[in-house]
Each structure stands twice: as structure tokens, then as C-alpha cells.
Amino acid sequence: MACLICGSEKFTRVTDVNESTIVKCRLCNFVYTVPLPDESSVRDLYGNWTDAGSQFQPRGGLGRRLKYRLFASRIKRHFPKHQSINLLEIGCGQGDLQRAVKHDERINGIGLDLDRSALNYARGLDLDVREGTLEEQNFLPKTYDCVVAIHVIEHLYNPIRTLSEIYRILTQGGIFIAIVPCVTHIKARINGKRWKYYHVPGHLWHFSPKTFRLLLSKANLQPVSMFSFYNRAHLKTIAKKID
């Protein structure tokens, strides 16, 4: 399978996971899964993320709620003080971010996810959440000032397709905020083949700052801020449209 980023078919094996192999492109160093599972099975995995017949158990407590309130407050710093912000969250899960912005006078939030149990929980909190992928929503162009995807891109069957749709629906001056596992973080290097984020079919793509930047460029998105959390193997990126 050719590299998603550079198209090269030359790679080295990193490790085997289940019936798949994690490989590293010899040309651009992108780390990814071969072979990919089929797209329908990837979707079914998240549609049935909560075990059938079990009761959904929300994660976290006060600390989690405060974390997302802080995240929401930081989003507002990227826009003029009195500007209303239309926010779309891809992979909203139980609705933590949507809950944080629900009563914010400046932010109008909508969440998308495939996990029906998590969505039902979020709807019970009177949050505006919808089932389905971004591509299925048929949003009008330049609809959203901010699109957020927290631990989503690494799960997508076709991330370039989704990023291109994000580009299409972002307003001029809008921002895309993503958090993904960082394959070059010290924790990933120490754990090597035992790194916890090497699991398939959950994670199909493994990004470094370099390869995530290259991926974003495929959809005409350019990072304006990119950093790894010192204590967690996560890469946070804020990107804007390339005109």
C-alpha cells in the first residue's frame, strides 16, 4: 500500500498488531497501517463502540468539565472579542466540549459522532449532537469559524477526504484544531513497539509534527501553532486555510 502522504511504496516494518502491520515510509517517515480495514468495518466499529445491551458510562467528573471549559475559553482568543463563533466538533463523544459551550453567549456549538450510546447521553443533556460523518452532513461552504477534532484524525479511513471537507466548510479566517497521538514523543520512543497507541483497527495513522503538517497541506490547511504536551504523547495543532 502506497504512503498516504508521499505515494512511496517503500517502507520498513515497525510492528505487527492483530492481523495488520504498522509500517514506516522510507521516504517521508510517515507511520501507518497495512492493510487498511475496509471502510464499512471502520464505521461499524464506532457505531457500536459501547457494548450492545450495556449502559453508557460517562467519563470523568469535575476535573474533566473544567478542562473543557478552559479549552473553550482558549478557542475564543483566536477571534475578535465580540465575534459570534460557529463551532463544529467532529467526534464529540459524550459531549464534553458541547456542554462547555452550551451557555456561552459567543459560541454556537454542534457535535458529530458515530457512537449512538454516547450521542444519546449527550442528547439527554440537551446538546445539539448528530449521528454521522462530516461528509454526510452536506454543510454549506464557509459555515464554521472553528472545527475541532480531538483524537479523531488517526481513526479516519480517509483523512485527506475529511480534511478537504473541513477546508470547504471553514470560514475565511476560521481555524481547525486537532489533537492526535504523537509518534515521535519521548513516551512513544521509550515504549517502542509496545506504545499504547499502536492498536488496530482503532488507530490507522501515526503522526509526527512533520507528517501531520504534510497531511494538512494536502487539504490546503497550514499550521499556525503546533506543539506536543510534555507529559502526554499528544500533538496539538491549530491550522488555517491556505488561500
The grid cell for 163 is: 480534511
Domain residue limits at 113: 11-49+62-241
What was the pLDDT predicted at 61?
A: 86
Tell me if 3 is assigned to some domain: no
- Report yes or no on 56 lying in a domain: no
**Displacement of CA 58 from its chain's centroid (Å):** 20
Residue 219 lies in a domain: yes
DSSP per-residue letters across 219-231: TTEEEEEEEE-SS
Average pLDDT score over residue span 159-169: 98
Strands 205-206 and 31-34: antiparallel
pLDDT in tens, 57-105: 888 888 999 999 999 999 999 999 999 999 999 999 999 999 999 999 9
Taking 60 as the threshold, does the pLDDT of residue 53 lie above it?
no
Whether residue 144 contacts residue 169, with contact meaning beta carbons closer than 8 Å, is answered with yes
Residue 54 is assigned to a structural domain of this protein: no
pLDDT band at 155 (very low <50, low <70, confident <90, very high): very high
Residue 188 placed within a domain: yes
The pLDDT-based confidence of 12 (bands split at 50, 70, 90) is very high
On whether residue 2 sits in a domain, the answer given is: no
Whether 220 is covered by a domain: the verdict is yes
The closest alpha carbon to 159, from 85, 233, 227, 237, belongs to 237
Report the helix count and the strand count for the chain, using DSSP H and E: 7, 11
Overall average pLDDT of the 196-205 stretch: 92
pLDDT at 238 over 70: yes
What number is the average pLDDT over the span 102-116?
96
Reduced to 3 states (helix: H, G, I; strand: E, B; else coil), residue 12 is strand
β-strands 85-90, 221-228 pairing = unpaired
Give the number of domains in the chain.
Answer: 1
Tell me how far apart the alpha carbons of residues 114 and 119 are, in angstroms, rounded to a whole number.
8
Residue 1 lies in a domain: no
Residue with cell 472545527: 147
How much is the average pLDDT of 147-159?
A: 97
CATH number, domain at 27? 3.40.50.150
Residue 51's pLDDT band, with cuts at 50, 70 and 90, is low
Which residues share a beta bridge with 236? Answer: 179, 227
The pTM for the full model equals 0.94
Average pLDDT, rounded, for the chain? 93
